[in-house]
Structure 1
């Protein structure tokens, strides 16, 4: 098994980091994901694996992270507060460390009513800030109750932020709270206004943390309109939507790739890396990496 180059090492050395994201399958057929990931070994620095994103039931993040680790990737395990209490979270984190996982992204998680199991009971025993504090404790050799561990964890702690939130003030307060809770890197919500992102970066540069700009691939005008209507903090500009619509159904994805590449090039001088999310279009990841000169 090839030992992956750690995302932490890339960030600590001040290199421009590139991470990507996979949704585990809704089922047990993981062949397409692994085939895609195989072609990206050595071409990206970290691979996020989502945790029942949008409250849709899928295979777990941890086993997929392990498979990617065995392939030579450095996985980023996502952990939401929606589905586990503090016992389960700590147990899963200890297990993740045993399996070689060294990055965790701490998230609140969408409420079950937005997903495909609307009757599921949410847990939310902790919030994302408390999970970061919990991970810090495990790294320091103590569980959340203060008990000493027989072997500490060694996680790099990640957090999420929405740089295009309106108003931005409360988000900046939350950013600082997460830094104080132990966040070492941030992967942002999708950005489509580079000038707003640059302003956000000026506001947070005083903190000694790394920020990776979120790049979400647009597949159609309809997708962009849906996000504008339903996802707080995301605002796809009208001119981008017109560009996608003019391309028609056949070529909208190609336009989405070009928009992603333009955005990466616009934000690159101002941040520490990019986090590329190509939902339902992971086959376009190599093309985005090549055109954005991220190889």
Structure 2
């Protein structure tokens, strides 16, 4: 059986095409279950199907053990949903990474997001040993090889494996010039789109975008749905490169309807970012049911 036999429904517009033709692309993400039952996560994906262009499937996010993302990504293709398979270097060496990418391609999964991965010490198995044979750039190199019909050892494959390759960038990095240099390296290694860390300070994001005007690679700005002022403060203290302005924290703290306030804040941020980038990547963290309202508010449905 060839990958053509297992490919996505021909009526579904690929993420590659959407990035080429749409003014503003919307992606979101879901976490595979911690257990064998996929019912809830697939119901969540089905609810979002008509609102987003693609759905990331995380790879044991936060180094917390969960079902392998390739399974959920494959199920998404059967629902005519574009999956973006996240793959990290934390749990696999280069042999396993390349093997998993080939398996994904055979299952009709053609969108991949390359990440280094969180430290196991931060997750629910702190005694686990991280592999980190390849970091994000190493995974990009492996994809570049597979797309050319070879593996990393330069052995020839029986056919090239074509992927749409994504990477991550942090507009809030302290050393922004170093971050931009690393971004250029990722582009040179074949990155075709970027998703960013969560954006709350749109002025900071605008400054970042002005620094990369010569880059033509689509940027999807990250958006984290705030659930409380306490969560906002936690993000500031613990999530590298995230800057939730005091005004937003105060607004959340004073709210007597946190859900509506979060929707309003998220809608406002998207409206501000629309002229700056190619799309938004929404990280709802359990509040996926509020994504449709945000997109309706911003005329993105």
Instruction: Place the TM-score, normalised by the shorter chain, in its bin.
Output: over 0.9
2: CA distance, partners of 1:169 / 1:79: 26
Residue of structure 2 aligned with 1:276, choices 277, 282, 287 = 282
Aligned to 2:88: 80
- Offset of 1:14 from its aligned partner? 5.0
- Unpaired segments ≥5 residues, structure 2: 1-7
Does the 8 Å contact 1:221/1:252 carry over to 2?
A: no
Aligned to 1:289: 295
2: CA distance, partners of 1:55 / 1:178: 23
Report runs of 4+ in structure 1 exceeding 4 Å deviation: none
- Unpaired segments ≥5 residues, structure 1: none
Residue of structure 2 aligned with 1:20, choices 28, 37, 43 = 28
Aligned-pair Cα RMSD in Å: 1.3
Aligned to 2:59: 51
Q: Does 1:217 align with 2:216?
A: no
Aligned to 1:252: 258
1:72-221 to 2 correspondence within 5 Å?
72-221=80-229
- Offset of 1:25 from its aligned partner? 1.3
Q: TM-score, normalised by structure 1?
A: 0.96
Secondary structure, counterpart of 1:269 in structure 2: coil
Secondary structure, counterpart of 1:257 in structure 2: helix
Q: TM-score, normalised by structure 2?
A: 0.94
- Offset of 1:74 from its aligned partner? 0.8
2: CA distance, partners of 1:199 / 1:144: 37
1:66-77 to 2 correspondence within 5 Å?
66-77=74-85
Pairs aligned (count): 293
Map Cα deviations across residues 152-203 of structure 1 (whole Å, 9 max, x no partner).
Answer: 1110110001112223111111111111111110000000011111111111
Aligned to 2:3: none
